[in-house]
């Protein structure tokens, strides 16, 4: 007598990307291989959104973008190049225009900037600080003990009503922090006393890479250590070593979120909550650890809508960041994007809501609005997701795969590929195509008697057969179009075999 068929359901893939295990041993909800997809807390897998080109006028190599809010409330981007062109602006409608009087930057420099109290300050450690107030552009001098000046520095931030500079004086004092304010006017942000500085372990052979305020303190990163400056004014400033061996090697990866400051060290991605440092990148550390040091220092990152986007140079065929690793703070999962080659990204509250904008790294002459559409500036998106190898705990000789069901959210009259790989060989494939047009009866909108059967999104269920008696199978969902898709889950009908 044949044994009763068994139903095995897989409805949760919220574990995300795990590169520390092979495809045989990742967790039931994880994947060892995916690209250009996102994971939600329900367990669904969704093809990522794309970008549109926001501004592509000019040929300069753009290096740095900064959001500047005018007193009227209007916002614009201030953009610094790294190819000796002058700093310029892009309006909130995407129009590029020159900043009157702006002079050129030194080629090949990396910038940091600050927009505060109606003024923009941009530093690169080489040129005098660029200052702009939406009317006048000034190349500031470096004279100490005199107002209207600002020492050269590699990093700049605002904290406790003062401007703090790090890695100062054109590289002469790479472990030095300088802070603004005179005795008569502590809030004078363009006055720097010759004695208003703090040296951060000056003789350790390291340099300050980034300053960022968090909670009530100033976090100071060096390449190999992390420090905290506490206190409200110079009389009670206290410099505390937070970690002697973990620092930030890529200053543009530093970004604050609700519970800490995220950054890339030579040992992975970490978050610092003001007292302790926690590793975030355990599941993608094999990829991070494989990056050459020269690639790591190019990386940049940004926090947007409860996700951290880390842009790194990974493929080796380029000289710029070409891959994004994305961490979801809500689900605690990683995923991976390609075709998002980003040089520098920022969050811009442009039209009453936050948007993610970036400089495209491959040519450096375009600004992109990320997550704005279904394709990459008119180009298709190669997206895929693979399950782990599944044997359902039953040896090959004791089962047969009778059929498989795949569920998708209905999206339109187009196809997505569902490949069933067999016998632990990715080339041994049973290919299937699922059309995402709901067609006839669909869950969520079909009438069942006089009432609606469910009230959610229409769901496509497709039955797939021909799987055979493979020891194990792995399912790959993929397409290379501009069409969106959301994969909801799988179910397998297994026929046990009686060998008696």
| pLDDT of res. 500 | 52
CATH architecture of 51-370: 7 Propeller (2.130)
| pLDDT of res. 440 | 45
Closest to 384 measured CA to CA, from 408, 416, 409, 341: 416
pTM of the model: 0.94
Q: Give CATH 2.130.10.10 domain extents, the chain.
A: 51-370
> In which residue are the tokens 């000789």 written?
397
Put residue 216 in one of left, alpha, beta given phi > 0 → left and psi -120 to 50 → alpha. alpha
pLDDT under 50 in the chain at which residues?
1, 440-456
The answer to whether residues 137 and 102 touch, using CB atoms and an 8 Å cutoff, is yes
Strand 323-328's sheet: what is its strand order? Answer: 300-304, 307-312, 323-328, 333-338
Sign of CA dihedral 291, 296, 301, 307: positive
| pLDDT of res. 88 | 97
DSSP conformational letter for 181? B
Closest to 384 measured CA to CA, from 426, 447, 428, 342: 426
| pLDDT of res. 5 | 79
Q: Give CATH 2.60.120 domain extents, the chain.
A: 6-48+383-496
What percent helix, strand, coil does the chain show, rounded to 5? 5, 50, 50
Cα 223 to Cα 182: distance, rounded to the nearest angstrom: 31
| pLDDT of res. 441 | 44
Query: Half-sphere exposure of residue 267, counting CA atoms within 13 Å on the CB side?
Result: 11
**Can you read off the two tokens belonging to residue 340?**
């998002």
| pLDDT of res. 152 | 98
pLDDT tens digits, one per residue of 389-423: 988 877 666 677 788 999 999 888 999 999 999 88
| pLDDT of res. 397 | 60
Cα 348 to Cα 371: distance, rounded to the nearest angstrom: 13
Cα 70 to Cα 57: distance, rounded to the nearest angstrom: 23
CB atoms within 10 A of CB 309: 23
| pLDDT of res. 218 | 98
> In which residue are the tokens 């569920």 written?
407
Helix ranges (H only) for 202-341 are: 285-289, 293-296
What is the distance in angstroms between the CA of the first residue and the CA of the last residue of the chain? 11
Cα 353 to Cα 347: distance, rounded to the nearest angstrom: 10
CATH code reported for the domain at 6-48+383-496: 2.60.120
Cα 483 to Cα 48: distance, rounded to the nearest angstrom: 10
| pLDDT of res. 327 | 98
């Amino acid at each position: 007598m044949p044994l009763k068929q068994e139903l095995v359901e897989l409805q949760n893939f919220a574990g995300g990307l795990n590169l520390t295990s092979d495809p045989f041993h990742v967790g039931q909800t994880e994947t060892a291989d995916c690209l250009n997809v996102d994971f939600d807390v329900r367990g669904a897998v969704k093809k990522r959104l794309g970008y549109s080109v926001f501004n592509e006028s000019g040929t300069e190599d753009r290096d740095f973008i900064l959001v500047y809010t005018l007193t009227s409330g209007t916002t614009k981007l201030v953009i610094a190049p790294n190819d000796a062109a002058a700093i310029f602006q892009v309006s909130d409608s995407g129009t590029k225009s020159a900043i009157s009087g702006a002079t050129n930057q030194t080629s090949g420099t990396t910038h940091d900037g600050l927009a505060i109290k109606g003024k923009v300050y941009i530093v690169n450690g080489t040129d005098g600080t660029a200052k702009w107030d939406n009317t006048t552009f000034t190349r500031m001098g470096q004279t100490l003990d005199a107002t209207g000046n600002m020492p050269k520095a590699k990093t700049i931030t605002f904290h406790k009503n003062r401007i703090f500079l790090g890695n100062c004086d054109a590289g002469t004092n790479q472990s030095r922090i300088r802070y603004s304010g005179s005795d008569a006017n502590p809030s004078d942000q363009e006055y720097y006393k010759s004695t208003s500085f703090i040296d951060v372990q000056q003789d350790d052979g390291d340099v300050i890479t980034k300053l960022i305020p968090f909670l009530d303190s100033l976090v100071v990163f060096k390449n190999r250590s992390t420090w905290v400056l506490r206190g409200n004014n110079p009389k009670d400033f206290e410099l505390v070593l937070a970690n002697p061996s973990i620092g930030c090697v890529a200053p543009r990866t530093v970004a604050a979120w609700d519970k800490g400051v995220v950054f890339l060290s030579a040992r992975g991605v970490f978050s610092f909550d003001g007292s302790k440092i926690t590793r975030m990148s355990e599941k993608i550390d094999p990829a991070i650890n494989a990056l050459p040091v020269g690639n790591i220092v190019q990386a940049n990152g940004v926090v947007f809508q409860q996700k951290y986007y880390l842009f790194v140079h990974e493929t080796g065929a380029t000289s710029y960041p070409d891959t994004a690793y994305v961490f979801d703070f809500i689900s605690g999962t990683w995923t991976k994007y390609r075709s998002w080659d980003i040089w520098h990204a920022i969050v811009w509250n442009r039209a009453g809501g936050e948007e993610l904008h970036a400089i495209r790294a491959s040519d450096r002459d375009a600004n992109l609005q990320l997550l704005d559409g279904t394709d990459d500036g008119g180009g298709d998106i190669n997206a895929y997701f693979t399950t782990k190898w599944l044997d359902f705990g039953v040896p090959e000789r004791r089962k047969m795969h009778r059929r498989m069901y795949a569920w998708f959210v209905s999206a339109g009259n187009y196809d997505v590929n569902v490949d069933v790989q067999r016998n632990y060989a990715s080339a041994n494939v049973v290919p299937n195509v699922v059309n995402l047009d709901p067609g006839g009866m669909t869950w969520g909108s079909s009438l069942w008697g006089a009432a609606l059967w469910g009230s959610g999104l229409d769901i496509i269920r497709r039955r797939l057969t021909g799987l055979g008696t493979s020891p194990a199978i792995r399912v790959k969902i993929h397409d290379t179009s501009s069409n969106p898709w959301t994969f909801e889950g799988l179910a397998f009908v297994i026929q046990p075999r009686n060998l008696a």
